[in-house]
Structure 1
């Protein structure tokens, strides 16, 4: 059940303006620069723009594990809380993403996603699923990082839903590493925050306003496990990724309760 709308102060509403301007700036980069740059150039643009977006939203980026910088290729598997997750991952590991086809219809964001290497999956269509699988395998064979959210939907960050195993087949067919990534958001006092959660019938604007009203959010990204080579059975692979991410999130929760906030290592790369 969706909670009652928050009383948003005038200040966060004003901060929506730079968010909108940054989205337009990203659209210009995608339209004018992406077609003329190679993969490394596009990755640098994605990383820089994603960090700018997090800064405008007042979200600090932190990593519990510096091993993230060594994940040069393969399939990234992460839990899903918000559309902001994409910026958090891109700020560290610029990637192509797999998303449901509905995202392509989002104003401006859908246009940006479609021209920033996103692979869209149309639900309920076997032909579309085969086409998306082929695109995923091609991207992985080309040495790119490809990120998926196998829960298929978002949560408030308080639980981990079952993973859809079909999305893991591309990594098995391409014979590339699979990296399980744990993602969470915390408030200034170290407690888990639901402010970025994009759930129920919440609109994009509602979510952005809630984030802007939150106090000093920190996005945590850590490597739960890597599977290289991945197990040959996709259901087994999905189960192992689910278990390692669940364990990493539980460990982060217990650690945040046991020590004061502010001890995480901030990413500055």
Structure 2
């Protein structure tokens, strides 16, 4: 993945002492809630066979995500029909917070490049959340297709970010058609475009939630903890499609990208997330 850096990062926001204290308290709550959820999640994963499947731990993950959104000051607004089990989701990617946002909607498992599995802490968290790691080698394509089919048959909702990078949240980049090649051998699989549109509070810059280029993850998290209250994220689900309804992967990628871009734009001009 090449980091998108076609826009300068927003200026750093001033943090007064009271705002800093409030952010530290929120950070402690975030850490406590995350540690508690990880413990519950791992226990549920151990006893998963006795519980008849993965639904209980995904329910715990959804609860974690929804409370996390409240803690970082994001109101979740859902539009359209939620995806059925076993649906592939394709979405725009603006920020690391997308992981929290999309984990709040169902049995979502993310699809990421294999290098992510080796990242300190983040790689462990991604593996714990059932992330599917993919390699670009052609020799791995069939094995990965089989794994994808098996996951979808188990009811997972595999989520792809076809832009190939995160952005400033002010646009949706063209979807890379190569990421849709797996669907050409899965003609009956439901593929649902989904758009996440972040709307910051009126006093914040429009690109406040974006994370791109050389921006520091730590600084971005601190900005959310100190200034994020009053924001909203619109999650818009478009009607699902099937690969068999398109001439090829490029046509499928173009359709999904246009649908996500249209749904994203529908809410990107909201002037006040608190309305």
CA deviation map 1:130-174 (0-9, x unaligned):
543332232123332111111111011111112122322333433
2:66 maps to 51
Pick closer, same or farther for the CA change 1:251–1:5 going to 2, 3 Å: closer
The equivalent position to 1:21 in structure 2, one of 28, 32, 38, is: 32
1:110 maps to 123
The equivalent position to 2:199 in structure 1, one of 154, 170, 186, is: 186
2: CA distance, partners of 1:105 / 1:56: 29
1:31 maps to 42
The equivalent position to 1:234 in structure 2, one of 211, 231, 249, is: 249
Pick closer, same or farther for the CA change 1:230–1:219 going to 2, 3 Å: farther
Residue 94 of structure 1 and its aligned partner are, at CA, apart by 2.9
Aligned residues: 257
Residue 192 of structure 1 and its aligned partner are, at CA, apart by 7.8
1:267 maps to none
Pick closer, same or farther for the CA change 1:190–1:20 going to 2, 3 Å: same
Residue 127 of structure 1 and its aligned partner are, at CA, apart by 3.5
Unaligned runs of 5+ in 1: 264-269
2: CA distance, partners of 1:52 / 1:103: 25
CA contact (8 A) 1:26 1:112 kept: no
Pick closer, same or farther for the CA change 1:168–1:36 going to 2, 3 Å: farther
- Pick which of 181-190 and 141-150 moved more: 181-190
Unaligned runs of 5+ in 2: 1-7
- Pick which of 235-244 and 4-13 moved more: 4-13
1: CA distance, partners of 2:219 / 2:75: 20
- Pick which of 163-172 and 36-45 moved more: 163-172
Correspondences of 1:1-269 after superposition (within 5 Å): 1-3=8-10, 5-9=12-16, 10-11=20-21, 12-37=23-48, 38-65=53-80, 67-68=81-82, 70-122=83-135, 124-174=136-186, 175-189=188-202, 193-212=206-225, 213-228=227-242, 230-232=244-246, 233-254=248-269, 256=270, 261-262=273-274
For residue 92 of structure 1, give the secondary structure of its aligned residue in structure 2: coil
RMSD value, Cα = 2.6
2: CA distance, partners of 1:48 / 1:230: 35
1: CA distance, partners of 2:150 / 2:140: 15
Pick closer, same or farther for the CA change 1:207–1:132 going to 2, 3 Å: farther
Q: TM-score, normalised by structure 2?
A: 0.82
Q: TM-score, normalised by structure 1?
A: 0.84
1: CA distance, partners of 2:217 / 2:196: 20
